[in-house]
Structure 1
Amino acid sequence: MLIIPAENTINWKRPPWVTLGLMFACLLVFLFYQGGDSRKLEQAVDAYVDAGLPQLEEPAYEDYLQRKIRFEGDDERALELRQFQQLREEGEDFWLSASLLMDREFYHYLLQNRDIIWAPAERMHWLEQRSIIEETYIQRLSANQLGLIPAKLSLYTLITYQFLHGGWGHIIGNLLFLFLLGFTVEKALGPGRFLLAYLACGALSGVVFTAFSLGSFIPLVGASGSISGLMGMYVAIYGLQKIRFFYFLGVYFNYFRAPALAILPVWLGKEIYDYWFAGATGVAYMAHAGGLLAGAGLVWLLGKSWLQVREEFFEPEESEQDERFTTGYAQAMASLGRMDFDLARRQFEALRENYSDRPIVLEHLYKLAKLRPDLPEYQSRTRELMNDAQSRRQPEQMVAVWQEYLRKGEEHHPLAAEDHNRVLFASLKQHDMKAAEKAFERLRGADDPLLTSEACRLLVEEFEKLQMAPKAQHYRQLLQAG
């Protein structure tokens, strides 16, 4: 049974660049770095056969597997024994030799017991030829160079193993889950913290795997632990909030909603169960379990500091925001139609709080305030609308709003000198000298000598450019008198 979260849709206007970059990095490593593994393995098998090592190792391998089954109760080795015997019966010499070469546990068993297994001459021949093959080919395979080997754990392999994969099916499955989970977690944490958390989950997953595989020489490769970490972070971010999950069972699939954290023990229990009862599948179940715990633990421990979820993550998507705005706007307009201005004002104010980037809401609030020009609200809405027009580079609207306020509200609550000064600058940029002069007169009346003298100087310069000497002389005299 497969259960994956499916709460969000990707916003291609803000692509998840780190998630896409991780996918691209894994693909490049698989194609161009790991792409040479098959050639190295073929050369290793050829050298192995030419040296006559299959005749030496095959009897030892069968005895090794039988000992594992009989004395250690290693049932997983029973399947390997059947596969080994089948390959030998079918004459599959290449795959038989490849199996012996790639079984790292068997190789170290031979190193430890070579004095018992072979006579001196055979032992010397085996050691000489096998050492050459190991150094020339086997140790140069990607999994042995950069994979996570519990018996030879190193810090750098805790990172590098996350970018290696065992085949096309392995990498395609991992990249699919990385994309499905990554874009949501990246949106929640931000690109930089997401990348660090992703790599940390992979490293912690590798540590847990090592703890359950002490002494093993079998290399771990793949992004599964890191992706399990994403799953743990995903559900920890949502906490007890109900989200959608997609599930697939046989040929049946559907969605269900559940508290996000309720799925964490289900995932964790499945990995632990499979570790004990699934047998030799080649899947690193404890690495997955470690990743789940690491991801959830990082969010719980650091969720109020370094790994804090960005506030905008929980904001509705644009389509949902548009739908909510349309509904709220229609209700406010309906109140206007019924002449219920108080209710309409409250509804538009609520829209303004949530949709401050929608100028039409401010325009309606301005018109409602204009119904009572004697109240201070009309002045504050006028200033808001003038600021909005200026920020959207609409000087004509700003001047028009200013002129309307002079007619209706100035006598009740005069505008400040800064308001008139802004209109003067906007008018000069538009070469509207009539409005500029009007703004200057209002500015003079606002009793701000510094702004008045600067405005007067600008008017002198502008009229001189327009070769309007009388006007320029008039303002020059005002400047000198001031």
Structure 2
Amino acid sequence: MLIIPIQDKPDWSHPPLITLALIALNVFVFLFYQGNDAAKLELAQDIYHNYQLDDIERPYYREYLQEYHPENVAHWDSRHANGSPLTHAMFDVEYEHYLREVWVDRGQNIEDVNGWRDGRRAFERQRNTVSSLQAGLVPAEARPVSFITSMFLHGGWGHLLGNMVFLFLFGFTLERALGAWRYLLGYVVSGVAAGGLFVALNPSSEVPLVGASGAISGLMGMYLALYRLRKIRFFYSVLFYFGEFVAPALWVFPVWVAKELYGHFFVDSNTAYWAHIGGLVAGVFVMLAWPVSRREFASQEAHNDRAAHLTEQLQQVQALAANLEFNRARSRVRVLCEQHKTDPRPWRLQFNLYKNQPRDRVFHEVTFAALKQFVQTPGAGREWTTAADEIAQEYCALSPEAPALTAKLAQALAQRFLQLNKKDRAEVYAQWARQKMATTRRASASVPNEP
């Protein structure tokens, strides 16, 4: 079963640099560090065979299986009765501890026990240079640094590519919501917590834990806690059935946990399901610890929803205009200007709907209202600045006398553009204000006094 959110689309105007860096680091480690594992293993096998450890250890490995894994004895006999190499024994770390006891209790039965020990130690030194043993998280011998290094190792191309897809899927939203460093901290904390729970529940395991799955599960938990009870879209796939559904984000959390528990108890695989659960839970708590980030994200998402809804309404107005229903289009856009006073898009569209009638009084009123709104909008951004300047320039081109661009309004525009460090545009409107004031003075001087 697969359930993933499809609520967000990547915003490449603000690329997720930390997420892309994490992906690049994982790929780099896999190619240039883990890529040497095959050569390391081949050298380890050569050492094993050169010291003739196959012949010496064969009976002891069978005894080990009889004592600790009797269910595997028959299978082992069927494969190794003819004296084939003990490939599996070479990498069974639990078996090594059994060998230590053999050296003490029964080593005297071996003709050259010291040679055997030396050969075994030489083999283990070389074999332990393999990435999963050198940098993986082995619960029975957990080192603090391995909680971090294990997060950048993977068991194969499928493991790597699957994790990187999910890392990007959740990472680009969380990085935008939290900021780069809080996002990175949440990723690392989730990965460490995932490894911690796995070690706590498997303290004697000699099998190394590798992969970014725990940290990525943490991102999944952070994602759900970020949206909380807001309804978002999910894609699901169960066997041959797939589709979409909408649900409050946190409702999916118990489903994800249940899926991991089912995998742990009923699926025969080497997947570290407890690490996934640990990451999920840690991610939720990490996000709940940052309420400011959640509130900021919720506010931004509400703004984005309003902007998206306005975009849809503006498209409807444009469709009316395309069908030559100008009166309906103008009526609709007038309402949108009142409802979204600080957004330049409806004002720009309203100007466009009237500019084909430059002699109409309403055209001048619409232009004056748009430019006045720009001046009165605190913190007007680049989009508003560009729209206002374009409206003013087009207006002057269509109506050279520009009655709507009064001296007072031109002066206000000059001040606003100066505040925005647009000195060249500020000078244009300042010059226009001076011309308007001069024209007004000449008109006043030409009026005769009453007797």
TM over 0.5: yes
Aligned equivalents of 2:228, 2:337: Cα separation in 1: 33
Alpha-carbon distance in structure 2 between the residues aligned to 1:292 and 1:339 = 50
1:466 counterpart residue number: none
Segment of structure 1 superposing worse, 9-18 or 282-291 = 9-18
Quote how far apart the aligned CAs of 1:5 are. 2.3
Looking at structure 2, the residues matched to 366 and 409 of structure 1 have their Cα atoms a distance apart, in angstroms, of 16
User: What is the match of residue 380 of structure 2?
Assistant: none
Q: Name which of 108, 117, 120 aligns with 1:127.
A: 117
Question: Can you list the C-alpha shifts for 1:284-334, whole angstroms capped at 9, x where unaligned?
Answer: 111111011111121122233599637435524988764343136668999
Residue type of the alignment partner of 1:200:
V
Structure 2 CA distance, aligned partners of 1:2 and 1:66? 40
Q: Which amino acid aligns with 1:296?
A: V
Which of 227, 230, 243 is the equivalent residue of 1:254? 243
Alignment of 1:306-385 (within 5 A): 309=297, 311-313=299-301, 315-316=304-305, 322-327=311-316, 337=327, 345-353=334-342, 355-356=343-344, 360-361=348-349, 363=351, 381-384=370-373
| Among candidates 154, 157, 173, match of residue 162 of structure 2 | 173
Residue 344 to residue 226, structure 1, CA distance change in 2 (3 Å): closer
Contact preservation (8 Å) 2:264, 2:274: yes
* Offset, 1:190: 3.2
Q: Are residues 382 and 4 of structure 1, via their aligned partners in 2, closer, same or farther at CA, if it must alter by over 3 Å? A: closer
Give 1:22-421 correspondences, 5 Å limit: 22-69=22-69, 78=71, 81=73, 84-88=76-80, 93=85, 96-97=86-87, 99-119=88-108, 121=110, 122-135=112-125, 137-279=126-268, 281-305=269-293, 309=297, 311-313=299-301, 315-316=304-305, 322-327=311-316, 337=327, 345-353=334-342, 355-356=343-344, 360-361=348-349, 363=351, 381-384=370-373, 388=385, 392=389, 396=393, 407=403, 415=408, 418-419=411-412
* Aligned twin of 2:438: 441
Aligned 8 A contact 1:421 1:443 in 2: no
Q: Report the more deviating stretch, 81-90 or 24-33.
A: 81-90
Cα distance in structure 2, aligned partners of 1:50 and 1:63: 23
Do the aligned partners of residues 243 and 45 (structure 1) sit closer, same or farther apart at CA in structure 2, a change above 3 Å counting?
A: same
In the alignment, is the contact (CA less than 8 A) between 2:154 and 2:160 conserved in 1? yes
- CA–CA separation in structure 1 for the residues paired with 2:105 and 2:426: 101
Q: Secondary structure at the match of 1:110?
A: helix
Cα pair 2:330 2:353 within 8 Å, conserved: no
String of CA shifts for 1:112-146, please: whole Å, max 9, x gaps. 443224326454333221112222x1221111221
Question: Any conservation in 1 of the 2:371–2:388 contact (CA below 8 Å)?
Answer: no
- The number of equivalent residue pairs is 423
Contact 1:233 1:296 in 2 (8 A): yes
Whichever residue aligns with residue 243 of structure 1, its letter is I
SS across alignment from 1:140:
coil
CA distance in 2, matches of 1:67, 1:56: 18
| Deviation of 1:241 (Å) | 2.4
Query: How many Å apart are 1:30 and its aligned residue?
Result: 0.8
Which residue identity does 1:441 align to in structure 2?
A
Looking at CA atoms only, which structure, 1 or 2, has the larger radius of gyration? 1
TM-score when scaled to structure 2? 0.77
Contact 1:190–1:310 at 8 Å: present in 2 too? no
- Mean CA deviation greater in 322-331 or 264-273: 322-331
Q: Which residue of 2 aligns with 1:448?
A: none
Cα distance change of structure 1 residues 42 and 336 upon mapping to structure 2, 3 Å threshold:
same
Question: TM-score scaled to structure 1, two decimals?
Answer: 0.73
RMSD (Å), alpha carbons: 4.3
* Deviation for aligned residue 1:337: 1.4
Q: How much has 1:390 moved relative to structure 2?
A: 9.1
The 3-state SS of whatever aligns with 1:219 is: coil
In the TM superposition, residue 53 of structure 1 has moved relative to its aligned partner by 1.2
Q: How far 1:41 sits from its partner (Å)?
A: 0.8
> Unpaired runs of 5+ in structure 1?
71-77, 446-482
SS in structure 1 of the partner of residue 260 of structure 2: helix
Q: What code does the residue aligned with 2:183 have?
A: F
Structure 1 residue 272 displacement after superposition: 2.4
Q: Aligned in 2, Cα 1:344/1:18: closer, same or farther, shift over 3 Å? A: closer
SS of 1:415 mapped into structure 2: helix
Q: Give distance in 1, aligned partners of 2:183 and 2:146.
A: 20
Cα 1:13–1:437, aligned 2, differ >3 Å: closer, same or farther? closer
Note the C-alpha offset of 1:427: 8.9
Q: Which runs of 5+ in 2 are unaligned?
A: 376-383, 443-451
The letter for the 1-side match of 2:210 is: V
Distance 1:105 1:18 in 2: 38
Asked if structure 2 preserves the Cα contact closer than 8 Å seen for 1:164 and 1:223, the reply is yes
Whole-angstrom distance in 2 between the partners of 1:420 and 1:67: 88
Q: Is the CA contact (8 Å cut-off) linking 1:162 and 1:202 kept in structure 2?
A: yes
Shift of the 151–401 alpha-carbon distance from structure 1 to 2, 3 Å rule, reads farther
Deviation at 1:261, TM superposition (A): 1.5
- Measured in 2, the distance between the counterparts of 1:214 and 1:420 equals 70
Q: Closer, same or farther in 2 for the Cα pair 1:154/1:358, shift >3 Å?
A: farther
SS at match of 1:348: helix
